[in-house]
Amino acid sequence: MKALPAGARTLLLTAFAMLAFAANSLLCRQALQQPLIDPASFGSVRLVSGALMLGLIVRLQPGPAVAGRADWPAAAMLFAYVACFSFAYLTLSAGSGALILFGAVQVTMMGAGLRAGESFRPLAWAGLLLAVGGLVYLVSPGLSAPPLAGALLMAGAGLAWGLYSLRGRAAGDPLRASARNFLRATPLALGLSLLMATAAHAKPAGVALAVASGALTSGLGYVIWYAALKGLTAMRAATVQLSVPPIAALGGALLLGEAITPRLALASAAILGGIALVLGSRARR
């Protein structure tokens, strides 16, 4: 990887990271669609395996270990994201879930920018309204609308992930901070599993999918993403994440037999197009 030119290396790392993020939706949906595991157990196994993978990677990093402060609010946001994400995929398709998730993430971060003092140009406001309109259209009543409870849960996951990402900007070492947050979020997830013990069930295949989601597409996926970020501007980093919902929708159609409905296609065009307009328009401080 180091022998590649810097631009090619960044492109390859970014592609792998986006595939990993989309795979999270596919793995969770496959595990819960069968069902091979209950959502609380899936979230617990995902966080435990992610914490173990990130902890191992941190230990292999050169240099002395740096003690970090306990950021329990960040851990709580990470837990909320994982829990809402898991329960939402009881009813949502991989594509619609990823679209709602990343739409909510971007809207959350745009709202934070406005609150911080940024002022949008007219084109950016038009894009924001288009994106929000696309989300409203996607979940509005109709035969092909995703279940409202699942959509609200996934929107909550997007809100939690957006706030977690904003809080992570202050982390000096994002890899070590992620490892600590995964570790601290684990007892919260295990507590939820204990509360829902009567509904717990897990087959070996379901546990394997949860481990893959935690250790590979989350743990290793984040490591790859952090490496890719070194070669991306903030604008490009935000823009490339728009590729995740289409990848998840295509994967759901090819691997899980899910349909790409006209509503999903139109909502995708509105949400992703609106976000692209916002990202493409410079904000004023």
- Tens digit of pLDDT for each residue in 164-193? 887 776 666 788 888 999 999 999 999 999
Q: Output the pLDDT for position 277.
A: 81
Tens digits of per-residue pLDDT, 215-248?
A: 999 999 988 988 888 887 766 777 778 788 888 9
Residue 40 belongs to some domain of the structure: yes
What's the structural domain count of the chain?
A: 1
Q: Output the pLDDT for position 170.
A: 62
Sign of CA dihedral 219, 19, 281, 123: negative
Q: Output the pLDDT for position 113.
A: 75
Q: What number of residues does the chain have?
A: 285
Q: Output the pLDDT for position 261.
A: 84
Instruction: Determine the structural domain holding residue 81 and report its residue range.
Output: 6-280
Residue 1 belongs to some domain of the structure: no
Q: Output the pLDDT for position 235.
A: 65
Q: Output the pLDDT for position 262.
A: 86
Residue 285 belongs to some domain of the structure: no
pLDDT in tens, the chain (285 residues): 556 777 788 889 989 999 999 999 999 999 999 889 999 999 999 999 999 999 999 988 876 655 566 689 999 999 999 999 999 999 999 989 998 998 888 888 778 777 877 777 888 788 878 888 888 888 777 656 788 899 999 999 999 998 888 777 666 678 888 899 999 999 999 999 999 999 999 999 999 999 999 999 999 998 898 888 888 776 677 777 878 888 898 899 889 988 888 888 888 888 888 878 877 765 444
CA distances from 234 to 79, 130, 240 (A): 25, 22, 10
Residue 142 belongs to some domain of the structure: yes
Residue 112 belongs to some domain of the structure: yes
End-to-end Cα, the chain, rounded Å: 38
Which residues neighbour 183 within 8 Å (Cβ) at sequence distance 6 or greater?
Answer: 51, 55
- The 3-class SS string of 251-270 reads HHHHHCCCCCCHHHHHHHHH
Beta-carbon neighbour count of residue 153 at 10 Å? 24
* Residue 278 token pair: 């916002």
Q: Alpha carbon 232 to chain centroid distance? A: 19
Q: Output the pLDDT for position 2.
A: 56
